[in-house]
Amino acid sequence: MFLAASTIFLAGSAKADEGMWVVGNISASTDSVLHSLGLELTAEQLYSADAPSLSNVVVQFGGFCSGAVVSPNGLVFTNHHCGFGSIQSNSSVKHDYLKNGFIAKSYKEELPNEGLYVLFHIKTVDVTDKILGQIPAGVTGEARAHMIDSLALDIENIVNCQNEGLQGEVSPFYKGSKYFLSVYQRYDDVRLVCAPPQCLGKYGGDTDNWMWPRQTCDFSVFRIYAGKDNRPAAYSKDNVPFKPLTYAKVSTQGFKEGDYVMTMGYPGSTDRYLSSYGIWNTMRCTNDVRYQVRGVKLDIINAAMRSSDALRIMYASKQASSSNYWKFSLGQNTALDNLKVLDEKRALEAQIQKWVMEDTVARRQYVGILDSLKVIYERNFNVTYTRNLFVESFISGSDILNFVLYRNMYGTYAGDKPFGERAAQAYKDLDVATDKKVFAALLKNYLDKVPEERFKPKDIVHEIDSAFGGNVDAYVDALYDKSVFSKPESLTGYTQFSEVAKDPMVDFAMSLAQLLGDLYLGSSTYEYERLLGDALREMNHSKDYYPDANFTLRMSYGVFEPINFAPGTTGLKEEARNLVTTPQSFINKHDREPENYDYELIDPVYKWMKSGKFSAKYIDPETGKLPLCYLTTNDITGGNSGSGMYDGKGRLVGLAFDGNWEAMSGDIKFDRNLQRCIGVDVRWILSVIEDYFKGKNLIKEMTIE
């Protein structure tokens, strides 16, 4: 059965724009809030099990983003940064789609993308009893977690075996107090149709990331293909454009401040019920580590990318992925400090503690949970810090080392490609000289930052000291000189990983694997964090609490609203207080900072933008200008990238692509006064397609109102 109206479907909170709401059944009180803000659709038009609804246009894109179907022929809009990997993999120095953009003027010109897929949500089923009901009393900790994983996998396999393309995913809600099965239809033939030049799609780069004002035309267009029966099918030249159940109409009507707007997509992860101890741990063990290590890595990659077009294309996707959360980590810590989130959380925990002690018999399961959290987080601090340092330094560091580690740890599996083919695929976007610099820098950084001697790889340190006089660079030079993995042309001749098992790079990986085993966390905080959330909801039983985001289909709602923070709070310039940005602000950034790589424009884009030759139908009637990006109060997070943004009639008005720096604490603490969603206006998207690319073929297949 479908999800019933229960605690997982919650009424509007006191702060009406907060919350990533599970779609499937909207309560009467939530429905009232939505309609008071301007929603004109019924609950069934938002989500229905029996008839086409707005939720049917939403796709989970590639397992990391969201998107919206915008035509009867399977056309999908998502963000440029969501499609970036596919754009990059189709690019070369000869066909530089990153720099110059790409548009297909016919189906035959659309480009396939190995491994790219989309998921359509079919239904969600409550399986809490089928999982938690099977756990014997007294089973806790790791044993409980293993049992839950096993039961969830059994449920997923029942779905996965039913039908080609059907996919089941069991997800925990409220940190495991409830479990729900999401059923999806999967399509694996997804082709690139259109991507703007990077100077449009990524305009502002790292300089503007997480910032307002923005002028970024952050979109890309793909098409879903299916077999001739419209069923999921592996890539084939015989496949045809997919015919969706329904698709989103596109509105060029525009909006004004205070108008209703909603998103539908797949927000990845929030932690808004995390304890104060957990928040502090996130700041020190995750954000501090990620920012520091990725800063070292990015310095090397950025220099390499500036040295040649080949390296720029090769590392573009990796650089974008790494830099995004490098800057996020700093922003989140800054916002958490500025908003005094730890103080607020500690005050709330004092209330919970007082409530528990008022009736320790009825509330005995909550006695001592805060003390336990404090003890475990403090005891695990060095291990947690080192685990994150290890992951960032080695698993997310050198690409060659990542390849060897993965193959060493997991070997091969049924249906796997021969080792040589896998190697060729892994080395497609890898420069050995750059990789060696990353390897050496991150190894030195790890040895310098690791908090305890026992967490250093003893065999590696001994060899560096004894054979190379402590010189890490000399050690890495010798390692790369001796290893077959630094000579990708020779790897293609091997069929099995076992043939290179005695390579010195494999020895290095094995030493790391042994160290990783020592970084085991003896006691988990997960169960205590879950109980803390249960206590909060029980204490305030008359209040609604939405579940944290977990990459399941959600809706958020809000209004178009500019930033208007108190003077001195953010240091924002007056132009940044506008609701919408325009082409002139785009040109201004380029002209003011011509040496800034993030504001560089290729000549065709500069001339077009400077000419102002935009179709009249995309010009805002109130301002007489083409709208670029805008601000709303919608609640979003990572994974929402590419989510369609819809007006009260359910028409697409743009795509969500970013949040604002002042509220980077949003995954842990939503602040209605500070939090904004940054979206790209659909009229900006359509103008690039039609006016810049002359892509009338795509415009004609959409329903534009």
Instruction: List pLDDT tens digits, range 221-241.
Output: 999 999 999 999 999 999 999
Task: List pLDDT tens digits, range 55-74.
Answer: 999 999 999 999 999 999 99
What is the token pair recorded at 453?
Answer: 């001697």
Task: List pLDDT tens digits, range 385-417.
Answer: 999 999 999 999 999 999 998 775 555 444 567
Residue in the structure block whose two tokens are 């790889």: 457
Q: What is the dihedral of CA 410, 416, 421, 422, to 10 degrees?
A: -30
**Catalytic, out of 13, 17, 55, 81:** 81
Contact 648, 583 (CB under 8 A): no
**Catalytic, out of 17, 208, 218, 503:** 218
Mean pLDDT score across all residues of the chain: 91
Task: Report the alpha-carbon distance of residue 363 to residue 249 in Å, rounded.
Answer: 51
Q: What is the dihedral of CA 647, 653, 654, 655, to 10 degrees?
A: 40
* 700: three-class secondary structure by DSSP: helix
Task: List pLDDT tens digits, range 604-617.
Answer: 999 999 999 999 99
Q: What is the dihedral of CA 602, 603, 606, 607, to 10 degrees?
A: -160
Q: Is the pLDDT of residue 673 over 90?
A: no
Active site residue 95: no
* 304: three-class secondary structure by DSSP: helix
Closest C-alpha to 422, from 338, 362, 492, 524 = 492
Give Cα separations from 558 to 275, 582, 614, 635, 671 (angstroms).
27, 22, 29, 8, 13
What is the token pair recorded at 300?
Answer: 């090397």
Task: Report the alpha-carbon distance of residue 101 to residue 257 in Å, rounded.
Answer: 33
Q: Is the pLDDT of residue 289 over 60?
A: yes
The more confidently predicted of residues 420 and 646 is 646
pTM over 0.85: yes
Active site residue 81: yes
What does residue 51 show for φ and ψ, rounded to 5 degrees? -140, 155
- What are the percentages of helix, strand and coil residues in the chain, rounded to 5? 50, 15, 40
**Catalytic, out of 182, 486, 641, 643:** 641
Q: Are strands 65-69 and 58-61 parallel, antiparallel or unpaired?
A: antiparallel
pLDDT value of position 356:
97
Task: Report the alpha-carbon distance of residue 378 to residue 522 in Å, rounded.
Answer: 12
pLDDT value of position 568:
46
**What ranges in 458-544 are assigned the alpha helix state H?**
458-468, 472-482, 488-491, 504-518, 526-539
* Letter string b/e over residues 345-376, b meaning 16 or more CB atoms within 10 A of that residue's CB: bbebbeebbebbeeeeeebeebeebbebbeeb
Q: Which residues, in sequence order, are bridge partners of residue 194? A: 103, 221
